[in-house]
């Protein structure tokens, strides 16, 4: 029995999917299957019941998962207290929408680096609503999420601030002569969407689907910054973006704000981390730094 097999088992057991586990671990699915088979052979127990494309844990699998999670937590604690020399080196792995990394986190990182100059960061893109899978895979420390409401019994979820969203276009675009009264006004219009800030985008897309609105076309673009550049270059279409991302352009007139009279579209920004996972000193310090920036109490 090898420790890497236990780590693979933990990811499969939490996601209940060999395919998802292979994706988050960056393994071939055959490698995941082979490691689980090796683990089952070592223990002399069947860990998963397979039924078509679905799997579930057996009783021995449930028991092993509890031991595995304790062992991985202990490994993290040992590494932090020895290898990382009191947790002053290493990387924090953070999953975050592009707008959070670009407009909210820079001052937090600046202050954090003064106290922890040897801590690195690994920022990854859009969170969406698969945040449970991401944490269950055990591969990140902290996530940030734009959402209307979010809670989870297995995660610490902290609301940081309300995020005002704005509909914007280039000033020459006359798609809307006045305000947008409802999602129905988007019928046969062009919409620019950011792939990397998918969570607040999903709030609006849900409204379009429920109203059976058919757009003329959509332009799916890598990030809010790229969406903004498209509009600044003169591309036509309406974009929904966090107001913090376009405040400068709206103030100097290079972008135009279109008033929205429909239901409130303000999202909330959440910080999320895993319950029951050993938290390094660096992780705790970063959570504290974020709280200070947003005026929250520890």
Taking only the tens place, the pLDDT of each residue in 44-69 is 999 999 887 789 999 999 889 888 87
What is the bridge-based pairing of β-strands 54-57 and 190-194? unpaired
- The answer to whether 73 and 138 have CB atoms below 8 angstroms apart is no
- Cα 210 to chain centroid distance, Å, stands at 24
Residue 293: pLDDT band by 50, 70, 90 thresholds?
very high
Who contacts 141 (Cβ-Cβ below 8 Å, separation ≥6)? 92, 93, 94, 273, 280, 283, 286
Which of 49, 22, 24 lies closest to 34, judged by CA? 22
What is the bridge-based pairing of β-strands 119-124 and 90-95? parallel
| Residue 266 pLDDT greater than 80, yes or no | no
Q: What is the pLDDT of residue 83?
A: 54
Q: Is pTM beyond 0.85 here?
A: no
- The answer to whether 175 and 190 have CB atoms below 8 angstroms apart is yes
Least confident of 65-74, 85-94, 96-105, 230-239: 85-94
Residue 85: pLDDT band by 50, 70, 90 thresholds?
very low
Taking only the tens place, the pLDDT of each residue in 115-164 is 888 888 888 776 665 677 777 766 688 999 988 888 888 889 999 999 99
| Domains within the chain, CATH numbers bracketed | 3-81 (1.10.10.10), 90-160+269-293 (3.40.190.10), 165-265 (3.40.190.10)
**CA distances for 224 relative to 22, 122, 172, 174, 241, angstroms:** 30, 20, 20, 22, 7
């Amino acid at each position: 029995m090898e420790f890497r097999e236990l780590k693979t088992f933990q990811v499969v057991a939490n996601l209940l999917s060999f395919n998802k586990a292979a994706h988050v671990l960056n393994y071939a699915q055959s490698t995941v299957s082979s490691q689980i088979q090796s683990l089952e052979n070592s223990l002399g127990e069947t860990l998963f019941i397979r039924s078509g494309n679905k799997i579930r844990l057996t009783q021995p699998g449930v028991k092993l998962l509890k031991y595995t999670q304790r062992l991985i937590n202990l490994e993290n604690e040992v590494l932090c207290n020895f290898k990382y020399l009191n947790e002053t080196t290493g990387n924090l792995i953070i999953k975050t929408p592009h707008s959070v990394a670009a407009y909210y986190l820079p001052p937090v990182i600046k202050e954090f680096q003064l106290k922890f100059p040897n801590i690195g960061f690994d920022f990854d893109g859009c969170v969406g609503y698969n945040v449970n899978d991401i944490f269950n895979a055990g591969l990140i420390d902290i996530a940030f999420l734009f959402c209307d409401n979010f809670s989870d019994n297995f995660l610490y979820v902290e609301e940081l601030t309300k995020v005002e969203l704005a509909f914007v276009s280039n000033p020459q675009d006359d798609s809307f002569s006045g305000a947008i009264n409802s999602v129905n006004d988007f019928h046969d219009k062009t919409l620019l969407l950011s792939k990397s800030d998918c969570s607040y985008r999903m709030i609006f897309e849900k409204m379009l689907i429920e109203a059976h609105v058919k757009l003329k076309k959509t332009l799916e673009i890598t990030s809010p910054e790229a969406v903004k550049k498209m509009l600044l270059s003169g591309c036509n279409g309406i974009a929904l973006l966090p107001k913090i991302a376009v405040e400068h352009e709206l103030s100097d007139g290079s972008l135009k704000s279109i008033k929205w009279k429909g239901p409130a579209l303000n999202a909330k920004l959440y910080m999320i981390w895993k319950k029951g996972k050993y938290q390094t000193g660096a992780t705790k310090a970063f959570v504290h730094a974020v709280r200070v920036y947003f005026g929250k109490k520890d």
